[in-house]
Amino acid sequence: MVDYSLLNFQVAGDHTGNLIALEKGKHFPFEIKRVYYIWGTAANAVRGKHAHRKLEQAIICTSGSCDFILDNGKEKVTVHLNSPTQGLYIKHNIWREFTNFSPDCVVMVLASEHYDESDYIRDYDVFLQELENSSSSK
Ligand code: T46
């Protein structure tokens, strides 16, 4: 099974509209060191195409929708994100691609580490090799 979970956020706000507050130490199983967001992506673009060696992330589609394809080297699962009330939590060693963007899609990501290109595995064969090395060293 591909290791991921969906975090459900409590909605506050009032009759005029909604609000979700996300706090350090309360809503995520990691300390948030970085926030970034992605928007204006062409519908059929495929982003991601990499895994991370260490990074954990919570991915929230704050507007619109898109699909995340998660791959642990053996199995794949597609997670459709279409609500600001849910966060897709993924740890390291998961190959991710995301696509099928609605025109209004905004993806906000909360990350456990600062940006570090050396944490990326951008070659799928290297990803498979590193997975094998880590399982044979256990
Ligand atoms: C993931 C999805 C949801 C930075 O300079 N700082 C940053 O914090 C990030 C994330 C990227 N960049 C630069 C590096 C590249 O030149 O922005 C460019 C595109 O980055 P990347 O290839 O990481 O973008 P995505 O949208 O393919 O993937 C990102 C995350 O890397 C990834 O972990 O899950 O968003």
Query: Is-contact 101 45, C-beta < 8 A?
Result: yes
50 is catalytic: yes
Residues 111, 117, 123, 129, Cα dihedral to 10°: -80
Q: What is the mean pLDDT of the chain?
A: 96
Residue 37 pLDDT exceeds 80 = yes
Residue 40 pLDDT exceeds 80 = yes
Count the neighbouring beta carbons within 10 Å of the beta carbon of residue 88.
22
Atom 31 in ligand 1: which residue has the minimum CA distance? 48
As to burial, measured by CB atoms within 10 angstroms (0-12 exposed, 13-18 middle, 19+ buried), residue 75 is exposed
- Non-local CB neighbours of 55 within 8 Å, separated by 6+ positions: 92, 111, 112, 113, 119
**Residues with beta carbon inside 6 Å of ligand 1?**
34, 36, 38, 47-48, 52, 57, 59, 96, 107, 109, 115
| pLDDT per position as a tens digit, 109-118 | 999 999 999 9
Q: Which atom of ligand 1 is nearest to the CA of 48?
A: 27
What CATH number labels 4-136? Answer: 2.60.120.10
What's the 37 CA to ligand 1 centre distance in angstroms?
Answer: 9
CA gyration radius, the chain: 16
Q: SS3 for 90-120, per residue?
A: ECCCCEEEEECCCCCCEEEEEECCCCCHHHE
User: For residue 44, what pLDDT band results from cuts at 50, 70 and 90?
Assistant: very high
What's the 76 CA to ligand 1 centre distance in angstroms?
Answer: 21
Residue 70 pLDDT exceeds 80 = yes
Sign of the torsion angle spanned by Cα atoms 4, 34, 22, 100: negative
β-sheet with 34-39: strand ranges across: 4-8, 86-90, 57-63, 106-111, 34-39
- pLDDT for 137 equals 81
Ranking 13-17, 87-91, 112-116 by mean pLDDT, the lowest is 13-17
